[in-house]
Amino acid sequence: DPDIVRLNAVQEKFEKETRARKEELFAEATETIALNPIDKLRADLIKPRIDLEADMEWFTTFKYEQMYYAVRYFEDQDQYYFKSTNQIKGLPHHIQDLLFEEFQAIDMDVGELKNSLTPLLSSP
């Protein structure tokens, strides 16, 4: 399935970029610190926070990709339901949360999901 291949490629890309970003942030943080014992300890304490921030950024971005692929088609399978992940990012947070909850339901039917969200997406 080309969508699964693309989603796997996106995941690999995000993981690689996240690793690189963590290394970059940690290098920036430690570069400005003279490495005496106290400052070295401070630098070691920064790393877990950087890891967490980078992981959360990756998770959020990947979550949009997952939701985009989960609900992207109309029933005729020709027309995109969402044209891009930016359309999902632009949705109100409560609708994003509903989308993600629905996405996590393994047995969900994409057509059923589309129908259940249409009133929410079209409401002002």
The Cα–Cα gap between 121 and 73 comes to: 15
Q: What is the pLDDT of residue 44?
A: 67
Q: How confident is the model at residue 74 (pLDDT cuts 50, 70, 90)?
A: very low
- Listed as own residue / partner, the contacts of 112-120 with beta carbons closer than 8 Å and 24 or more positions apart are 113/70, 113/71, 114/71, 114/73, 114/74, 114/75, 114/81, 117/71, 120/95
Burial 23-46, CB ≥16 within 10 A → b, else e: eebbeebbeeeeeeeeeeeebeee
Average pLDDT for 3-31: 74
Q: What is the pLDDT of residue 41?
A: 65
Q: What is the pLDDT of residue 107?
A: 46
| 23-73 pLDDT tens trace | 777 776 666 555 566 666 666 666 666 666 666 676 666 666 666 665 554
The Cα–Cα gap between 70 and 105 comes to: 11
Tell me if 71 sits within 8 A of 81, measured CB to CB.
Answer: yes
Average pLDDT for 105-118: 53
The Cα–Cα gap between 56 and 107 comes to: 26
- Comparing CA positions, the residue from 8, 122, 107, 2 lying closest to residue 66 is 8
Cα-atom radius of gyration of the chain, to the nearest Å? 19
